[in-house]
Amino acid sequence: MTRRLIQLFIGLVLYGLSIALIVRADLGLDPWDVLNQGVFEQFAKPSGVSFGLVVNLIGMAVLLLWIPLRQKPGIGTLANVLVIGTVANFGLDWIPSDLGLPLRAGLLIAGIVLNGVASGAYIGAGLGPGPRDGLMTGIVARTGWPVKWVRTDIELTVIAVGWLLGGSVGLGTVLYALTIGPLVHVFLPLFTIRR
**Helix pair angle (131-143, 75-94), 10° resolution:** 140
This prediction has a pTM of 0.85
- Contact 180/22 with Cβ under 8 angstroms? no
84-109 confidence digits (pLDDT tens): 989 999 999 999 988 999 999 999 99
112-162 confidence digits (pLDDT tens): 999 999 988 998 898 988 888 888 888 888 998 877 788 778 888 999 999
DSSP letter string over 151-167? Answer: HHHHHHHHHHHHHHTT-
**Domain enclosing residue 6, as ranges:** 1-191
The C-alpha atoms of residue 180 and residue 155 are separated, in whole angstroms, by 12
Domain count, the chain: 1
